Structure 1
């Protein structure tokens, strides 16, 4: 589950941040996968996510906005104390309006910034918001454990690349050096197949999880994930893909214009 926070201004307030965090963390566990909790201008949103991970005995990942390094490291320590299995930074949140509205400074991260953050913890560090080969190589050089090829749901910069347009190039460049995740516009199981075929090792689901939480709470999240899994399985049968491990060489239904 992709990191999303701020239920009042991102989800209409139909569930609270505490409710949503619990729904995704425990709904993901019920479905046999894992959730990422997020960060936003309201510090309480990150804290309730951390609390949910702690209640789940650490079965969650904490993603942090690109704040000052000292502030990121403070939040990493909270994730460590909660037993989180990994942490991350969504570096493409450097210009988010919501952070400005809450007077929470954020900004771009250099290679040295990333090295300082990664060296501050023994947890695997994920860098989210990568759209170019150069950025991916910086993450490899910084010692990151994984990247997420993502354009933040298209909400940060108009006219940016879609992840599906750049994923294959990034995978070819660094796929042997780092774990590659991808997200964006995943609305059914076949979209997962497309991302895996383009070179992703795993796929994050965002907006449909909100629908699951609001519509059915923890059970709704579980059902949403199980539906995606069933759709993926059906897509594999109908397209002749017999093993997700072979998707990177599977190209009959890729999203790209030309393969």
Structure 2
């Protein structure tokens, strides 16, 4: 991973500094680029909310080889981690590799490592087209995310996603108001419950499951469950759409408590290593999504870089679970954590 990060830093120069600690401080306001919008506080809050939670080390127990595999939305995964949907290599990551190279590295690297990658959407068209192509070539093993466009554009991209033979389709509703799209004259918007239900019904009618990414309140989580979403992703879009938003780990417990058991709860925001994964699971997530570190791995090492990052996460997660006495990822709970009294 050191070599992967070194190459990524060279290739992403001017777009991402590949900092030792990826916390959004150095890249605040750099959008396009890999930073958070405005002051960068939403990106930083994701990191701070996780940092403020500590794990309880316990070593008088019998846990020696914890189980980190899980089942998410019918998928058997070797680790409860998905690569989050990120696109736009040319204007966000330096353009030293092509969009097709990038997304293929994520999809194939995840598939060969026993997990699954998601693909992004946006402008220009090659962003989503590269994603659909990579998923199709991987036998449908990937999750395409479509932005909250108007009905016509969503329907067109839904049909393309169906053709890629995937079993799950997502919408990153947290892209509403995304600066880069607005600058390109292609604004996206929130959806009413009625509009969202129409979208969910269309996806279900095609025999696919639906993930809604961008939930940051218990009220929105409840609304997503009410319209039939199969899963939600607790996410503030990596801090790239709304300045001064809460950190994901701060809002996750209330959201999970509100809808756990009714749909799958994923969490995305500030997760960097195996300890962070365990924290999010203990706070109520069924699995997590990771964004920027996967981008660095893909740009710096393509498929092999992605595989190396996932193997590192597996080792870190297992080690952490041994040191806190957690036998499996299905048996995480807040007892593993020391957390602020607000929870």
TM-score range, shorter chain: over 0.9
Match of 2:263 among 178, 189, 195: 178
Is residue 74 from structure 1 mapped to residue 188 from structure 2 by the alignment? Answer: no
Q: Which residue of structure 2 aligns with residue 252 of structure 1?
A: 336
1:91 pairs with 173, 178, 182, which one?
Answer: 173
Q: Which runs of 5+ in 2 are unaligned?
A: 1-82
The residue that corresponds to 1:241 in the other structure is 326
Distance 2:318 2:242 in 1: 34
Q: Which residue of 2 aligns with 1:232?
A: 317
Of 208, 228, 234, the match for 1:149? 234
Q: Which residue of 1 aligns with 2:299?
A: 214
CA distance in 2, matches of 1:178, 1:256: 27
Provide, for residues 2-47 of structure 1, a one-character-per-residue CA deviation record: whole Å limited to 9, x for no partner: 0000001111112211111100000001110000001112121001
**CA offset digits 1:160-188 (Å, max 9, x no partner):** 01110010100111002110000111111
Structure 1 residue 94, shift from structure 2 partner: 0.8
Q: 1:46 aligns with which of 128, 134, 143?
A: 128
- TM-score (norm: length of structure 1): 0.96
Separation in structure 2 between the aligned mates of residue 226 and residue 165 of structure 1, nearest angstrom: 28
Q: Distance in 2 between matches of 1:234 and 1:194?
A: 14
Q: Name the larger-Rg structure.
A: 2
Task: Report the secondary structure of 2:335's partner residue.
Answer: coil
Deviation at 1:256, TM superposition (A): 4.7
* 2:290 counterpart SS class: coil
Distance 2:340 2:155 in 1: 38
Pick closer, same or farther for the CA change 1:78–1:251 going to 2, 3 Å. Answer: same
Structure with greater proportional helix content? 1
**CA distance in 2: counterparts of 1:3 and 1:256, whole angstroms:** 31
Q: Residues 41 and 103 of structure 1 are in contact (CA less than 8 Å); yes or no, is this contact kept in structure 2?
A: no
Contact 2:282 2:336 in 1 (8 A): no
1:4 aligns with one of 78, 86, 100: 86
1:104 shift after superposition: 1.4
| Count of equivalent residues | 258
More deviation, 23-32/209-218: 209-218
